[in-house]
Amino acid sequence: QFSTGGSARPAIWVDTGIHSREWVTQATGIWTANKIAEEYGQDPSVTAILDSMDIFLEIVTNPDGFAYTHSSNRLWRKTRSLNAGSRCVGVDPNRNWDAGFGGAGSSSDPCSDTYHGPFPHSEREVKAIVDFIRGHGNVKSVISIHSYSQMLLFPYGYTVAPSPDHQEMNELAKKAVSDLAAVYGTKYTFGSIADTIYMAGGTTVDWAYDHGVKYSFTLELRDTGRHGFLLPSSQILPTATETWPALLDIMVHALEHPY
């Protein structure tokens, strides 16, 4: 939690590493944590944000999965929960949220990498965030960070119908992607999840949005497939550095557009 005081201030939630194999995201989370702390009192935008809002950053959002990518299977995506009646392990934590749960783009097969789980929020990693955001009551933005594809996405994934705030989200995404590209020329596409990447029921940002968190975005970081999940560690700093202005754009927008 990054806070300069107050109580129950409007807040921004950021998570990285919900899919354990997406290693550039946890690394970006650490860099971003340092950046936020460094820039308070230095950068006018960061200072303005933290003077009125809190930032919550969860870096290893899927710890069991992350441990497993180190010990056994570098390309593990899901949680490590045991599935009753199956030899297959784990639930896709980004299909386990109660928004379009069980819909297109998620699987009912425990052996699948998009298995949605036996019921919404069955995964403790997901339930913990649900309880936190509900309990907090004043979260204004959720940014969930993934890799790879180089995309900035917003609801919905569970339906092709545009969200009521589609226009505003689209404009903000356009700006954020432009500011990201200005750093090293990295090109991102943007749009709703269903339009831009694929249909996906039960995602983090769809749940957050449907529970009153308007500025809910998913980022897919570098690259576009050449290295994929095995992004060389030499690209961590450039990735985190270019992502920062995009994050800042979203946070500043949340600050300047209270609701």
Partner 1 sequence: DIKDVGHKYYLELELEDVLDKDSTVNCTAEVLYHLGNKNIAPDVQFTLEGELKSTEEADHVFYTRIRSLEKELVAENIPDSHGHVPPELEPLHLLAWVASGYLVWQNSTENTQLQLAQIKHVKQVKRSDEYLQFDYVVLLHEMVSQEIIPWEMTVLWHPRDGVQVTWNSRQPGHTSG
For the bound state, the minimum distance from the C-beta of residue 228 to partner 1, rounded and expressed in Å, comes to 5
Burial class (CB in 10 A: 0-12, 13-18, 19+), 156: buried
The number of C-alpha atoms within 13 Å of 23 and in the hemisphere containing its C-beta is: 19
Please, which of residues 133-152 interact with partner 1 by CB under 8 A? 149
Candidates 2-10, 34-42, 84-92, 123-131 — which segment interacts with partner 1 by CB under 8 A? 84-92
**For 124-165, where are the alpha helices, taking DSSP H only?**
124-136
First vs last C-alpha separation in the chain: 22
Please pick, from the candidates 198, 237, 238, 257, the single residue that binds partner 1 as defined by CB under 8 A. 198
Q: How many residues bind partner 1 (CB under 8 A)?
A: 34
CA–CA distance, 123 with 117 (Å, rounded to integer): 8
CA–CA distance, 170 with 69 (Å, rounded to integer): 34
**For 142-213, where are the alpha helices, taking DSSP H only?**
166-184, 193-196, 204-210
**248: nearest Cα among 208, 224, 215, 220:** 215
Longest pairwise C-alpha distance within the chain: 55
Q: Report helix, strand or coil for 208.
A: helix
Residue 229 binds partner 1, judged by CB under 8 A = yes
Q: Which helix (H) or strand (E) holds 68?
A: helix 63-71
Residue 193 binds partner 1, judged by CB under 8 A = no
Please pick, from the candidates 3, 73, 108, 167, the single residue that binds partner 1 as defined by CB under 8 A. 73
Cα angle: 236, vertex 192, 127; to 5 degrees:
70
Candidates 48-56, 72-80, 185-193, 242-250 — which segment interacts with partner 1 by CB under 8 A? 72-80
> Which residue, 48 or 183, has its beta carbon nearer to partner 1?
183
Residue 88 binds partner 1, judged by CB under 8 A = yes
Please, which of residues 41-70 interact with partner 1 by CB under 8 A? 69-70
Residue 227 binds partner 1, judged by CB under 8 A = yes
How is residue 233 annotated by DSSP? G
Please pick, from the candidates 6, 41, 44, 74, the single residue that binds partner 1 as defined by CB under 8 A. 74
Is 220 annotated as catalytic?
yes
For the bound state, the minimum distance from the C-beta of residue 113 to partner 1, rounded and expressed in Å, comes to 4
Exactly one of 22, 58, 123, 220 is catalytic; which is it? 220
Q: How far is CA 100 from CA 5, 94, 197, 201, in A?
A: 37, 12, 16, 5
> Which residue, 4 or 235, has its beta carbon nearer to partner 1?
235
Please pick, from the candidates 108, 233, 237, 238, the single residue that binds partner 1 as defined by CB under 8 A. 233
Residue 102 binds partner 1, judged by CB under 8 A = no
Residue 237 binds partner 1, judged by CB under 8 A = no
Catalytic residues: 220
* Binding positions for partner 1, rule: CB under 8 A: 23, 69-70, 72-78, 87-90, 92, 105, 107, 111-114, 149, 198, 225-235
